[in-house]
Structure 1
Amino acid sequence: MADKTYWKILLLMKRKPGTTMAQFEDYYENHHVPLCRPYMQGIARYFRRYLTPQPHAESGTCEELPYDVISEMWFEDEATFQGTLGYITTTVMPDEVVQDELKFFHRPTMRIATVVERETDMSV
């Protein structure tokens, strides 16, 4: 197997104040994801990674994290990745998406990052 390259866009998001993690995850999965699917053409894989803070080994503190979910959009080719990245970093999402996000995301804290992963087949 040859080495493989993957392109991803990460969306780091915080829930709206007053929303529990259970409410946040339920709304995201059952309302927001279905709403956004038609706008996600060209995305090969879509992951939501919900974060749960854990105690620090030395201090024992378990503080709330700056983000509650990391959403990953995976792309099979660089051109689609670049096109999608260009769109989401320069264009305001459709009104129905923005209005839905206002219900459960703390939008001012949302951040976007990119990842290029290179995988080496270690079985050879």
Structure 2
Amino acid sequence: MIKTIALVRRRVDLTHGEFRDYYENHHAKLISEVPHVARYVRRYIEPSGLWNGPGAFDAITEIWFSSQADYDAAMARLVELQELFATDAANVFDTSATQRFVVLDECDTDVPGASEA
């Protein structure tokens, strides 16, 4: 599997609640325009958690693709939709802070008592 990970920060004028509401009810729905997405998860960082201060992020976004071909097709479609995604992202994210990664999602190391997230 191929997975994209994005660390995103909310716009400073949005509360954590406003950020999460907009992300879930508007921006996240845009993924329906992208083909071959196997899984799409948004993980919200607890504002009172240990990861605070300068450089802190508000959410981690993960998108899985089953194959390189699926990933390539999705990226080609995202290029076509670049203006739509960028315009909407500006409504919710501090886009200058976004960090993106592409990773290969290999088998997890067996950990007794652990379950898949």
Same structural fold, with TM-score higher than 0.5 when normalized by the shorter chain: yes
- Cα RMSD after superposing both structures: 2.5
Match of 1:69 in 2: 59
Q: Is the 8 A contact 2:35 2:74 kept in 1?
A: no
Match of 1:81 in 2: 71
Question: CA distance change for structure 1 residues 69 and 54 in 2, over 3 Å: closer, same or farther?
Answer: same
Question: CA distance change for structure 1 residues 28 and 92 in 2, over 3 Å: closer, same or farther?
Answer: same
Match of 1:12 in 2: 7
Deviates more, 1:46-55 or 1:14-23: 46-55
Question: TM-score, normalised on structure 1?
Answer: 0.72
Name stretches of at least 5 consecutive residues in structure 2 with no aligned partner.
Answer: 111-117
SS in 2 for 1:118: coil
2:29 is aligned with 1:29: no
Equivalent pairs counted in the alignment come to 108
2:27 is aligned with 1:39: no
Q: Which has the larger radius of gyration?
A: 1
The sequence identity of aligned pairs, in percent, is 25
